Amino acid sequence: MMLHKLFDKEPWFAPRRYGYGSGLPITWQGWVLLLSYVALVIGIARLGAHASRGTHIATLAAIFLATCLFSVIVARHTRGGWKWRWGKKD
């Protein structure tokens, strides 16, 4: 059931008023996604800090992949999508 909600086009994030991208979450799903992303990045960074010296590239790669996935989900769930905005309300 929760996975089905992930692929809905319902907006979870408000659009930015100026610039490109998303603003703050507007639903509980958006807040859960944002907090989960932050916790995941912190967890990856902490594991990478305690690992051997050669794993820094793997740590950066894992954070990069998590950020890419997070960005795609946020873009899909932003009201009006990601586009450049000049201050007008959508």
Q: How far apart are the first and last CA of the chain?
A: 30
Regarding predicted confidence, which is higher, 89 or 55? 55
Regarding predicted confidence, which is higher, 67 or 7? 67
* 50 has pLDDT over 60: yes
- Neighbouring CB atoms inside 10 A of 10's CB total 10
Greatest C-alpha distance within the chain = 50
Q: What percent of the chain has pLDDT over 70?
A: 86
Main-chain phi, psi angles of 13, to 5 degrees: -125, 145
Indicate if the alpha-carbon torsion angle 63, 34, 76, 14 is positive or negative. Answer: negative
